[in-house]
Amino acid sequence: MNGNRCFKAGLLAPCLLAMAPAVLSAQDRPTSETANEQALMATEKSSKGPAEHAPRKKLPPREDKKFFNGVDLTGWEGSEKYWKVEDGAIVGNNKEKLTKNLFIWSSVPVEDFHLVVDVKIEPWNRNAGIQFRSSKIGDGQFGARGYQADAGGGFWGRLFHEHGRNHLDNENYGYAASRRDDWNRYEILAVDDCIWATVNGVLSISVKDPKGERSGHIAFQVHAGKEQTARYKVMKLIHNPKVQLAGYTEKQLRAALRKPIDQVVRGNDDDH
């Protein structure tokens, strides 16, 4: 502010006027000062983290009949060199060593959802996964960013954040419940900032993650490395689901919630 400004006001003594603080409206303030205040307000607002996610109106559950038709790759985007439909399943296969992860993407956007997929990895100890609430990197064929429910070998039932925060939930309940050389049923439930998943009916992922994505797309993965085949047989996709999963009640699911690994290691959000 300019303290040397002088105003005339009837009978008030000039000395009293000099002592009175000058009050400017937003229109009278220098442009740089107003811009600084606006920038500060924007910074304070953006630093609130979870507040960025505005509450959404709750809608009734709805099963998506167009997610996968079980016959061809209508509604999916991926290279025909690696992906096809076989016996009602989306099949990814690399016949040579891959140097990058490989993805096929659904065109259906998801927010809150319940996905049921039967998965089979050949050989059983290879690695694959289901991306969700994710986004493409580049054209998406070899890059994804977001949540991944890991599959195959010792990775069953783990939550990973592809091209981002890495491991978020690494309990081994899913691996213990998995079956070698066979189909394994993955159920994934995402509601608000909570994520749960079961492998063959056993709760393996249970995370409350205020920092995470709330929307995006679903993609299936064939991991980089040696030759493998990953089969994904979609059973159902439900938007706006109830909080219940593979026989677990909402009370049981919410009681099982834990922090993501990166928040446990780094401490609470308030520490940063």
Element spanning 208, H or E: strand 202-208
Q: Which residue has the tokens 């890991």?
A: 150
Residues 107-158: pLDDT tens digits? Answer: 999 999 999 999 999 999 999 999 999 999 999 999 999 999 999 999 999 9
**Is pLDDT at 54 greater than 80 in this prediction?**
no
Amino acid at 92: G
Give residue-wise pLDDT tens across range 120-129: 999 999 999 9
Strands (E) across 95-181 are located at: 102-110, 113-122, 128-136, 144-151, 159-162, 166-169
Q: Are strands 83-86 and 76-77 parallel, antiparallel or unpaired?
A: unpaired
Average the pLDDT over 80-99 and give the result: 94
Does the pLDDT value for residue 212 go beyond 80?
Answer: yes
What is the arithmetic mean of pLDDT over 162-175? 94
Q: pLDDT-derived band of residue 58, with 50, 70 and 90 as boundaries?
A: confident
- Beta carbons of 174 and 199 less than 8 angstroms apart: yes
pTM: 0.78
CA angle 91, 96, 98 (to 5 degrees): 80
Q: How confident is the model at residue 57 (pLDDT cuts 50, 70, 90)?
A: confident
Handedness of CA 173, 174, 178, 181 (dihedral sign): negative
| Spatial separation of the C-alpha atoms in residues 132 and 149, rounded to whole Å | 8
